[in-house]
Amino acid sequence: MAISVFDLFTVGIGPSSSHTVGPMRAAHAFVAGLQRHGMIQRAAGLRVDLYGSLAATGRGHGTFTAVLLGLEGFDPEHVLPEEVDRALERIERSGEIRLGAELSGAAALDDAAAAVPAIRFGVPDVALHPLTVLPRHTNGMRFAVLDDTGATLDEQTYFSVGGGFIVREGAEEAILDRLEQSLAEQPYPFRTAAELLAHCSSDGMTIAEVMLANELVTRDEATVRAGLERIWQVMEACKDSALTRTGLLPGGLNVRRRAPEWHRRLREQDPNRDPVFWQEWINLVALAVNEENASGGRVVTAPTNGAAGIIPAVLFYATHYAPGAASWGPEQKQRVIADFLLAAAAVGVLYKEQASISGAEVGCQGEVGSASSMAAAGLAQILGGTPEQVENAAEIAMEHNLGLTCDPIGGLVQIPCIERNAIAASKAINAAKMALMGDGSHHVSLDEVIVTMRETGRDMHTKYKETALGGLAVNVIEC
């Protein structure tokens, strides 16, 4: 299927889309396949191998536990953080996982749950191959189930290719065929910014309108708008949850949650929402969302978990500080939010099509850089930018994130990730403002900067691509 706004903005759990959401989705897909082929009840043993970046930073990113949950049949879209805690506590206590127990409501039925095999397997049984990179992508994982004689019943390899997207080995051609077919069905197919702008120009449409028209091939407009509203509500709930949670973030780095304290101080300093404090508020929103992500909370992958705070922060700016925002009624606000997310998603499509949104593939420029670029486009759109100005905003934001490496301390999505989201949100707002001061004409096109990002990522040393083997990850002493 062509990439939808609902592929780029999905609900999941933290801390990482490529290392938590993707692996859980892959393990879930594997057991769902076993169930479809009637193999679950014959399973007596399991093998899980993680490769490359998943093995190198999987511990800090929650990959191992995400895989166990996926093998039990939990999926990241629906699992609640409290269910995660309960299931992991049970797995650790019993030393067993219940293969596929959560599929199709099986867990709700006592006799069905009893029929699900309990297999001795836990985090220590996951085999790690950090120095082995499978040919397709550095985030590789292989699952195998064995029968009671030790023979392999089924074995599949998956890749987590960024933003929670997964690809099964052997299914690539079918995916490409489906993608081509669904692109052909769209009224305004595009892979490049040049194609996107050409559609806008020929039919007099905005970038958000082009994206919406393509969405309507698979969903009616009411469903699209309701889905976008839900995305925004989950972003809001994520921020609100973080503002109530104090203490240290998990993982052993002793990083203190700052959002509740900042919120208290900001409400004292700025009780009447003076626009002079806009920067402090967007810093707070970015911080809050990323603290929630770092603690395994429920977030919107936008377009990745590590970069999940940027779009909510810029959307907060749009809905609080855009001219006239204070007088918007609910319907107008809903329309503004939808336009923002649609324009941001259109730019996200360009990064997925021409480069990558995976930190393990191209460094943090693909995660935080892409999110900043998408947010700049969304903001320029709702501030009345022409398609050329929106494209210019997206280009400026990425141009000044080029070369950004991924070097999370301790392999945790905390330092530099949390503050980096706040900085990138500011860049996005500045990029939109700069673009709106011009007439849309500019030297470097968005397509050129996307290709440059891809090539910079290709040349970047592996130690700066989500392996925690370089940069801050090795120069800062963990405490």
- Site of interaction with ligand SF4 (CB under 6 A): 306-307, 359, 364, 367-368, 406, 408, 413, 416-417, 466
Q: Which two tokens stand for residue 372?
A: 């900043």
Kindly give the pairing relationship between strand 45-51 and strand 127-129: parallel
Query: Of 303 and 359, which has the nearer Cβ to ligand SF4?
Result: 359
Query: Of 307 and 428, which has the nearer Cβ to ligand SF4?
Result: 307
Residue 74 neighbours by CB under 8 Å, 6+ apart? 24, 28, 83, 84, 87, 102
| Amino acid identity for residue 129 in this structure | H
Q: Three-class SS of residue 152?
A: strand
Query: Of 7 and 407, which has the nearer Cβ to ligand SF4?
Result: 407
- Degrees, nearest 5: CA angle 34-39-44: 105
Q: Which two tokens stand for residue 453?
A: 């990002």
Closest listed residue to residue 255, CA positions, set 291, 306, 297: 291
Give 116's DSSP letter: S
Q: How many CB atoms lie within 10 A of CB 160?
A: 31
Minimum gap (Å) between residue 409 Cβ and ligand SF4 = 9
Query: Of 35 and 283, which has the nearer Cβ to ligand SF4?
Result: 283
Minimum gap (Å) between residue 309 Cβ and ligand SF4 = 9
| Amino acid identity for residue 384 in this structure | G
Query: Of 34 and 161, which has the nearer Cβ to ligand SF4?
Result: 161
CB-based contact 158:167 (threshold 8 Å): yes
Query: Of 210 and 308, which has the nearer Cβ to ligand SF4?
Result: 308
CA 336 to chain centre: 22
> Phi/psi class of residue 405: alpha, beta or left (left: φ > 0; alpha: ψ in -120 to 50)?
beta
Minimum gap (Å) between residue 339 Cβ and ligand SF4 = 26
Burial of 70 (0-12, 13-18, 19+ CB in 10 A): buried
Query: Of 307 and 380, which has the nearer Cβ to ligand SF4?
Result: 307
Q: Three-class SS of residue 224?
A: helix
Please identify the residue of the shown chain whose CB is closest to the bound ligand SF4.
306
Query: Of 322 and 472, which has the nearer Cβ to ligand SF4?
Result: 472
Q: Which two tokens stand for residue 449?
A: 């900067």
Burial 355-382 (b: 16+ CB within 10 A, else e): bbbbbbbbbbbbbbbbbbbbbbbbbbbb
Main-chain phi, psi angles of 75, to 5 degrees: -125, 145
Query: Of 90 and 458, which has the nearer Cβ to ligand SF4?
Result: 458
Q: Three-class SS of residue 130?
A: coil
Query: Of 45 and 62, which has the nearer Cβ to ligand SF4?
Result: 62
Query: Of 98 and 427, which has the nearer Cβ to ligand SF4?
Result: 427
Minimum gap (Å) between residue 345 Cβ and ligand SF4 = 20
CB-based contact 22:166 (threshold 8 Å): yes
What's the chain's Rg over C-alpha atoms? 22
CB-based contact 138:51 (threshold 8 Å): yes
For the chain, how many residues are written? 479
Q: Three-class SS of residue 38?
A: coil
Minimum gap (Å) between residue 230 Cβ and ligand SF4 = 24
Query: Can you tell me the distance from the alpha carbon of 339 to that of 333, in angstroms, rounded to the nearest whole number?
Result: 10
End-to-end CA distance of the chain: 45
Minimum gap (Å) between residue 427 Cβ and ligand SF4 = 14
